[in-house]
Chains A and B, each alone.
Chain A
């Protein structure tokens, strides 16, 4: 059973005051997320990430399409007992303390009273808020609110958690902590679905990603695959400023910077390059397979779609 199955989910808004025109926020979306993986939902701002999440949470109603969450219809209220949600830049009842808030949410999630207190304390220490549990939320900083948000999302030990921009507003230490927490969730067998526009986070954490832009899915795949040496190039760095002419014959692009030269050659030319350098008595510093970054893949997918969008629009 997949954790999430999205089938042709679509959302069109009518915008304008008098004569409403349709605005497509989400083109028919097909997506599957497997259990136990960390899935990244990437895209620039306004791409449709939050819309998708809101539809899955039942906050917004799709114009067409369905989704299944943990095997059930996404509108089934019982699904909610198994999922947790952290909205973007969350805000909570500021007249409550962290403890009271989690207690309230625990009640609504149906956690029995005897388990609640224990669970709340566990969660609060997990997100690093154990010593402020009596402080009213109106006094919390943005980072602290983000932690509370994570806390309420995992309070009832759900199988699947949805995070919308979980790193936003956090300092590097906070981001590290959130990353660790997400890893922990995965270790515990949970599924994590999170949206972000920060690619380095996604690259570090995710098993698989999907890229969405202007409401359309541009690409899906495992991070490993997407960032593997797609280009099949190798980087060779050597000492000195000398560039042997035969390097160029190998089809290398060479740049001299300071007292080293960096050349990019095809994977197959690797051995030839090393021999060449040795013959010229040039000192080899490093040979590294070039990996495509997720960023490159991302930008490529966006541009590609823009041209096709230009044709089809």
Chain B
């Protein structure tokens, strides 16, 4: 082989081998240190400093931080982590870099406020974030909605929630349900239907997959809660009328002249425990249940129904 041919061959082989080795190494690094960037990215915790360090490329940096935020939360959420300490700083930096990045505020409302493992459990910071968002985007009714949402669901402050919904309803092009929600807050109206309106509103007004999935899960669990409440009432009526617990739900169905045993959103029939409690067949499918769960239930790994 000519000298040139030999060199070409060896160089090509060298190229392929070292390329493969580099890629494998990177892959390996990925496995053992998946979130290295996040941790050390947040050595700069202050939004002001990040802003200065961006050399004027705030918008791009905001996008980058936003992507990191989503990945950070998604990864930890999947592992059912109990702490999301970096979520608030990440969101604060993102919105400091770009105050008009609306999805970031929505993400904060959905995942910064709720308690772990579904969120970071920092509703006050979430409120601050929403107020900052409202200040910078006064024409966006959605942010008022998120603010009211947090006050209602996590802080149980109906007065402030009502205020937020009312302010939001005055924004031009606000969705009609803002007025409705403001009114319901004022009336301390019935919890389930209000919650249903809220989660439906969230589901419909967001384009983010994680937020929608979260809202959908809430709605499903709400349905179960509602069903269980109604069914439990029927079981209790039966017990009062016949003086004994029903042997199974068919007796209740017959007594109430229902078309059949009600099915949960999965399509599984509800069950009756030995001591007369209505339960759902597979609690793992409904992460946000407050009713219909056996007393000794321990949540398993999360199962989600909307695929990424």
Using a CB–CB cutoff of 8 Å, the interface residues on chain A facing chain B are 73, 75-77
Q: How far is the CB of B234 from chain A (nearest CB, A)?
A: 81
Taken together as a complex, chains A and B put the C-alpha atoms of A76 and B2 apart, in Å, by 8
- The B interface is mostly helix, strand or loop, or mixed, namely helix
Q: Is B241 an interface residue (CB 8 A)?
A: no
Taken together as a complex, chains A and B put the C-alpha atoms of A114 and B4 apart, in Å, by 32
Q: How far is the CB of A78 from chain B (nearest CB, A)?
A: 9
Q: How far is the CB of B8 from chain A (nearest CB, A)?
A: 12
Q: Is B3 an interface residue (CB 8 A)?
A: yes
Taken together as a complex, chains A and B put the C-alpha atoms of A169 and B3 apart, in Å, by 36
Q: List 6 A-B contacts (CB under 8 A).
A: A73-B2, A75-B2, A75-B3, A75-B4, A76-B3, A77-B3
The interface size bin for chain B is under 10
Q: How far is the CB of B3 from chain A (nearest CB, A)?
A: 5
Q: How far is the CB of A165 from chain B (nearest CB, A)?
A: 28
Taken together as a complex, chains A and B put the C-alpha atoms of A76 and B3 apart, in Å, by 7
Residues of B within 8 A of A73 (CB): 2
Residues of B within 8 A of A76 (CB): 3
Which 3 residue pairs across A and B have the least CB separation, nearest first?
A75-B2, A77-B3, A75-B3
Q: Identify the closest chain A residue to B4 (Cβ).
A: A75
Taken together as a complex, chains A and B put the C-alpha atoms of A77 and B4 apart, in Å, by 9
Taken together as a complex, chains A and B put the C-alpha atoms of A75 and B2 apart, in Å, by 7
Q: Identify the closest chain B residue to A61 (Cβ).
A: B4
> Interface digits, B1-44 against A, CB 8 Å rule (1 contact, 0 not)?
01110000000000000000000000000000000000000000
Using a CB–CB cutoff of 8 Å, the interface residues on chain B facing chain A are 2-4
Q: Identify the closest chain A residue to B3 (Cβ).
A: A77
Q: Identify the closest chain B residue to A78 (Cβ).
A: B3
Residues of B within 8 A of A77 (CB): 3
Q: Identify the closest chain A residue to B2 (Cβ).
A: A75
Q: How far is the CB of A58 from chain B (nearest CB, A)?
A: 8
Taken together as a complex, chains A and B put the C-alpha atoms of A73 and B5 apart, in Å, by 14
Residues of A within 8 A of B3 (CB): 75-77
Taken together as a complex, chains A and B put the C-alpha atoms of A76 and B1 apart, in Å, by 11
Q: How far is the CB of B195 from chain A (nearest CB, A)?
A: 66
Q: How far is the CB of A60 from chain B (nearest CB, A)?
A: 13
Q: Identify the closest chain A residue to B5 (Cβ).
A: A75
Q: How far is the CB of A80 from chain B (nearest CB, A)?
A: 11
Q: How far is the CB of A207 from chain B (nearest CB, A)?
A: 32
Q: How far is the CB of A37 from chain B (nearest CB, A)?
A: 29
Q: Identify the closest chain B residue to A75 (Cβ).
A: B2
Taken together as a complex, chains A and B put the C-alpha atoms of A66 and B280 apart, in Å, by 86
Q: How far is the CB of A76 from chain B (nearest CB, A)?
A: 7
Taken together as a complex, chains A and B put the C-alpha atoms of A75 and B3 apart, in Å, by 7
Q: How far is the CB of B66 from chain A (nearest CB, A)?
A: 42
Q: How far is the CB of B11 from chain A (nearest CB, A)?
A: 16
Residues of B within 8 A of A75 (CB): 2-4
Taken together as a complex, chains A and B put the C-alpha atoms of A306 and B2 apart, in Å, by 38
Q: How far is the CB of A241 from chain B (nearest CB, A)?
A: 71
Residues of A within 8 A of B2 (CB): 73, 75
Q: How far is the CB of A82 from chain B (nearest CB, A)?
A: 16
Q: How far is the CB of B183 from chain A (nearest CB, A)?
A: 70
Taken together as a complex, chains A and B put the C-alpha atoms of A118 and B2 apart, in Å, by 35
Residues of A within 8 A of B4 (CB): 75
Q: How far is the CB of A67 from chain B (nearest CB, A)?
A: 13
Taken together as a complex, chains A and B put the C-alpha atoms of A75 and B4 apart, in Å, by 8
Taken together as a complex, chains A and B put the C-alpha atoms of A208 and B2 apart, in Å, by 32
Q: How far is the CB of A66 from chain B (nearest CB, A)?
A: 11
Taken together as a complex, chains A and B put the C-alpha atoms of A77 and B3 apart, in Å, by 7
Taken together as a complex, chains A and B put the C-alpha atoms of A55 and B2 apart, in Å, by 16
Q: Identify the closest chain B residue to A76 (Cβ).
A: B3
Q: How far is the CB of A42 from chain B (nearest CB, A)?
A: 31
Q: How far is the CB of A54 from chain B (nearest CB, A)?
A: 15
Taken together as a complex, chains A and B put the C-alpha atoms of A73 and B4 apart, in Å, by 12
Q: How far is the CB of B62 from chain A (nearest CB, A)?
A: 41
Q: How far is the CB of A59 from chain B (nearest CB, A)?
A: 12
Q: How far is the CB of B63 from chain A (nearest CB, A)?
A: 37
Taken together as a complex, chains A and B put the C-alpha atoms of A77 and B5 apart, in Å, by 13
Q: How far is the CB of B20 from chain A (nearest CB, A)?
A: 30
Taken together as a complex, chains A and B put the C-alpha atoms of A181 and B187 apart, in Å, by 112
Q: How far is the CB of A294 from chain B (nearest CB, A)?
A: 38
Q: How far is the CB of A265 from chain B (nearest CB, A)?
A: 60
